[in-house]
Chains A and B, each alone.
Chain A
Amino acid sequence: MSRIIVITSGKGGVGKSTVTANLGTAIAQRGHQVALVDADFGLRNLDLLLGLENRVVYTAIEAIAGECRLEQALVKDKRQPGLVLLPAAQNRSKETVNPAQMRQLVSQLSQNYEYILIDCPAGIEMGFRNAIAPAQEAIVVTTPEVAAVRDADRAVGLLEANNIRIVNLVINRIKPEMVQMNDMMSVEDVLEILAVPLLGIIPDDERVIVASNRGEPLVLDEKLSLPAIAFNNIARRLEGDKVPFLDLMAAHNNLLNRIRRFFRS
């Protein structure tokens, strides 16, 4: 039985694609067969984050239309043997696909892959409905900001209404220094409001942007950064490991960082 997980958020730009790319790579590193499905039809991005943009020949659209076999549309990752990407079309709208076709596509993938991660587009319209249609589980990504949390709550409500009962939360872009100054909601604040089980917390970190510039997911780094450890921990928790959550506040306050801040200011 494969696990079919949609990564969604409601609000745009909170880190769905970043989480999908890193989590997929981390799960593949742990020895699993993983397929990533870019469901953001019209705004394809996942290929770029994975550094696979030059290898895209066919997309999900051609596979659905029967213009190519599904295997032909899958792009194999150059670094991770267990990882493939099913790219979205770049210049066709979300309306060209329907939920039944998405279900059919993913059920075909599930014959060969243990994990199927679906990167959902922003919003709660057609693209959202397509992306969640095949899913059994969901990861809701949010940031500790009012609009993102409110939209995450809407997404959670819609997932429940669509009988997706396993819903977990990832809180992205936490800035410990702002939380400490009482200028950002903490992980506990967000959890209290959303009341969804926590799967992971990821610090706001410039290296996430650098990694996307390069098309090299952070979890591939030899020396793992804090956000990379956070992504790896999420992969382990998905498999049922009990991994304690990173203490970002403590990491922020360790002596070395305090000295660094002192000299910077």
Chain B
Amino acid sequence: MISELLEQFFRWKRPVNSRSEARNRLKLVIAQDRSGLSSEALEAMRKEILEVVARYVEIEPSESEFSLESDDRMTALIANLPIKRVRPQIEPDSPIPSEASDSEE
């Protein structure tokens, strides 16, 4: 109880840490600078990847995350796509369902 109160108090008291804000913002913008991709290209790529993945598994587009991360001057595209369920026996070259969830029944 008391420790919880204390914790809340300190969270409230602690000034916004501009050092870590600087670090986090820089990491994002530098990863994008290094990739040489425009934000339009990044968005187009995101859409296409989602389309391909949706042929095999059902995903929730609103919960999926794409980000660029840099480590040791190497940039990686990180995609986090929570799978709702696997689609039953779809052939790899069957047509792409138009909407991930509307296509059933």
Interface residues of A (CB under 8 A from B): 145-146, 149-150, 153-154, 156-157, 179, 182-186, 189, 192-193, 195-196
The answer, among B17, B19, B27, B34, for a CB contact under 8 Å with A186, is B19
A-B contacts, 29 of them at CB < 8 A, read A146-B22, A146-B25, A149-B26, A149-B30, A150-B26, A150-B33, A153-B30, A153-B34, A154-B33, A156-B73, A157-B33, A182-B17, A182-B19, A184-B19, A185-B19, A186-B19, A189-B19, A189-B22, A189-B23, A192-B23, A193-B23, A193-B26, A193-B27, A193-B30, A193-B70, A195-B70, A195-B71, A195-B72, A195-B73
Main secondary structure of the interface of A (DSSP, over half): helix
Q: Which residues of chain B are near A145, meaning CB under 8 Å?
A: 22
Q: Is B96 close to A, CB under 8 A?
A: no
For window 10-42 of chain B, which residues contact chain A by CB distance below 8 Å? 15, 17-20, 22-23, 25-27, 29-30, 33-34
When C-beta atoms are compared, the residue in chain B nearest to A184 turns out to be B19
Inter-chain pairs besides A183-B19, A193-B23, 17 sampled, C-beta below 8 Å: A146-B22, A146-B25, A146-B26, A150-B30, A153-B30, A153-B34, A154-B33, A179-B19, A182-B15, A182-B18, A184-B19, A185-B22, A189-B19, A193-B26, A193-B27, A193-B70, A195-B70
Interface residues of B (CB under 8 A from A): 15, 17-20, 22-23, 25-27, 29-30, 33-34, 70-73
Q: Which residues of chain B are near A195, meaning CB under 8 Å?
A: 70-73
Q: Which residues of chain A are near B25, meaning CB under 8 Å?
A: 146
